[in-house]
Amino acid sequence: MPKQISKSDIYQALKQVNHPEIRNRNLVELEVVKDVHVKNSSVLVTLALPNLNIPIKDELIEAVKQAITGVGTDLIVDVSVTEMTPDQRSAFLAIAREDGSSPKPGTHVKKVIAVLSGKGGVGKSSVAGLLASSLRRAGYQVGILDADITGPSIPKMFGVSKLPEMSHDGILPVRSLRGIKIMSINLLLPDKDQPVVWRGPLIGNTIKQFWTDIVWGDLDFLIIDLPPGTSDAALTVMQSLPLNGVLLVTSPQDLAGMVVRKAANMALHLGIPIIGLVENMSYIVCPHCGAHIKLFGNSRTDDTARKVGTNVLGRIALDSALSIYCDSGEIEEFYSEAFEAITDTVVQRTVALDSVATVDVSTSQ
């Protein structure tokens, strides 16, 4: 008579399944296995995930099925998924970020800020570049991690194109004219017009390697330029990197606001503090009379900020000079009093956020 399979047998098998994104931690230890039900030759496993749409969901389900099938070849295995409770999610993400926060020896990053928009075309990368440039003018040591793998624009804005150099510690980021450290997939491509046609997991792994394998050195701020929306790339950054906060970028239209609210709710869902909201392309200034002309009509950004529980940090005009500077690789030369004020507020609010501790990580400790 074949041995009767017990819940204990199933749990022991699942202890051999490590999480693919968290080193040396199995699914039982991480409390991803919420429940196991065994009846005769049928096994039902319920997995609790931080988000139902995580990119590796199918991979986890398949790994669980294979592990249980190894216990008994005649078993019928079914796997269901549910979302973690807020407390479970917080504990899980803390472990994930701790695992993903091991940069190269000698790297010390004090604050990590992600710049995120819900919708493309609102100037998110421009805001990320302006923020980095403004922080550098203020005397801070700054880096930019270009996480927009399929649409990288940071190197073009800063006029950098050379291949990153190697040191005995690892890959060195490329420096801009004013000393901002930059890493982007476009710096690694032989042809800058070559498309990056990758699936989500590969994009996620590349972003994590930009954090762990690059010798960033001493930085006061690392700015992460995320792709628009709530894709795998944004999820990877929020789950794996030790973010101090997210800066949201929108434009005056309610359509843009609706989509940025999705991005904001994603950040809140994952326990990432929102630093504030920047409205880009708010108006143009008439060159003759100086009047503000609202190209997109009356702004709905205040309503968006209220709905996600944050503040509008400032509004930026649609300025052709910024486009010229970005096209010529000289975004660091663009100066805006409005954005300098936004930067001051970002610094103050980032320091004030006490829900996430200051990041000061080094593998040399």
CATH 3.30.300.130 spans which residues of the chain? 7-93
Closest by CA position to 225, among listed 210, 214, 213: 210
Decide if pLDDT at 293 tops 80.
Answer: yes
The pLDDT score that the predictor gives to residue 360 is 39
Decide if pLDDT at 363 tops 50.
Answer: no
The whole-number average pLDDT for the span 3-17 is 87
Confidence of residue 328 (pLDDT cuts 50, 70, 90): very high
CATH 3.40.50.300 spans which residues of the chain? 103-352
The pLDDT score that the predictor gives to residue 286 is 87
Q: What angle do CA 234, 211, 115 make, to 5 degrees?
A: 40
The residue ranking higher by pLDDT, 143 or 359, is: 143
Q: Write the CATH number of the domain with boundaries 103-352.
A: 3.40.50.300
97-142 pLDDT, tens digit per residue, is 776 556 667 788 999 999 998 777 788 999 999 999 999 999 999 9
CA-to-CA distance for 342 and 338, rounded, in angstroms?
A: 6
The pLDDT score that the predictor gives to residue 200 is 67
Q: Is 217 exposed, middle or buried (0-12, 13-18, 19+ CB in 10 A)?
A: middle
The pLDDT score that the predictor gives to residue 67 is 92
The pLDDT score that the predictor gives to residue 361 is 37
The whole-number average pLDDT for the span 307-326 is 92
Contact 244, 273 (CB under 8 A): yes
Overall CATH class of domain 7-93: alpha beta
Confidence of residue 59 (pLDDT cuts 50, 70, 90): confident
336-352 pLDDT, tens digit per residue, is 999 999 999 999 999 88
222-269 pLDDT, tens digit per residue, is 999 988 766 677 877 887 788 899 999 998 887 777 888 888 888 888
Kindly list the distances between the CA atom of residue 192 and the CA atoms of 161, 171, 189, 199, 231, in Å, as whole numbers in the listed order: 9, 19, 6, 19, 23
In one-letter notation, the amino acid at residue 75 is L
The whole-number average pLDDT for the span 289-316 is 88
**Structural element, H or E, at residue 133:** helix 124-137
